[in-house]
Structure 1
């Protein structure tokens, strides 16, 4: 992992470098009791800034494709992430959604 960033004890995220310019959001979590407080947006904003500071120009992610992950996919889309194909060794999976964006 390249970076794990706490959000005041209420969330955390991790970025993994795939290559010199491409990274992956490996994990992003918000404390259950703080969901719907805007923590995920603050954390994602910070992670995008960190990725840029690391010299990355593309950030991708894998998340679930089921209804349970719908809010996560909406959050990523709000931040400019778009659907893409599998990357970095992932294969097609009906339970996965892949998204990417330039920074």
Structure 2
């Protein structure tokens, strides 16, 4: 498995992002979905990555570079690749990337009910925090942060 920069509009990543967005829409109200669309994921302040194995895209993740921190976005693993360490590899890559981008803090927003994601983030040193950067307190959202 290789984790590295990718084009979110390429077939593999775009298909996984569509699955992720559909899942979010099925679990949360529209105003509770904070994912970035494909165009947003190509902005200069976004670092989009994918985990691949041969031609298969196994997972995606992104960093949004903010003033003084980086926000983890677009974490999603293909259902058939779950349990293989894909999300761990992507998150480790994003943590290293944040450090190389001189962002001393990583933050993220995630939804309630995404228990596997919550365990992943805690395993990597993320702890609960208050809403940040325009997010508001919401029963559907959880917020985490960790030093880079």
Question: TM-score, normalized by length of structure 1?
Answer: 0.93
- Structure 2 regions of 5+ residues with no counterpart? 1-44
Q: Which has the higher helix share?
A: 2
| Structure number with larger C-alpha Rg | 2
- Structure 1 regions of 5+ residues with no counterpart? none
Of 64, 83, 100, 1:36 maps to 83
Q: How many residue pairs end up in the alignment?
A: 100
Say if 2:129 is the partner of 1:84.
Answer: yes
Say if 2:100 is the partner of 1:56.
Answer: no
Find the aligned partners of 1:18 and 1:93 in 2 and give their Cα distance.
22
Specify which structure has the bigger relative contact order, considering alpha-carbon pairs within 8 angstroms and separated by 6 or more residues: 1
CA contact (8 A) 1:18 1:88 kept: no
Moved over 6 A (4+): none
Question: TM-score, normalized by length of structure 2?
Answer: 0.65
Shift of 1:95: 0.3
